[in-house]
């Protein structure tokens, strides 16, 4: 799956949650509930999980993708 289908949410407790976004035909996030994919206690583990979710492909330093965490609180 594409990384654009996921987001990392950071809660005040320090917990990081990866959710999967459903998209409308126009490509915008659809309203409604999101699927929780994983819960992590540190950002490095969450970023690593996103790379695995994105599937196979080159994963060198030039490809390093870091999604900013969204703070909720």
pLDDT confidence of residue 27: 78
Pick from 2, 3, 13, 16: nearest CA to 70: 16
User: What are the tokens at 25?
Assistant: 């035909």
Which stretches of the chain score pLDDT less than 50? 59-65
The pTM of this model reads: 0.66
pLDDT confidence of residue 69: 60
Cβ-contact 39, 9 below 8 angstroms: no
């Amino acid at each position: 799956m594409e990384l654009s289908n996921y987001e990392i949410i950071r809660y005040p407790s320090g917990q990081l949650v990866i959710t999967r976004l459903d998209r409308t035909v126009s490509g915008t996030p659809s309203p409604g509930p999101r699927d929780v994919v994983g819960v992590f206690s540190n950002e490095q583990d969450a970023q690593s999980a996103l790379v695995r979710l994105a599937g196979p492909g080159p994963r060198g330093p030039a490809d390093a993708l870091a999604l900013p965490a969204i703070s909720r609180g």
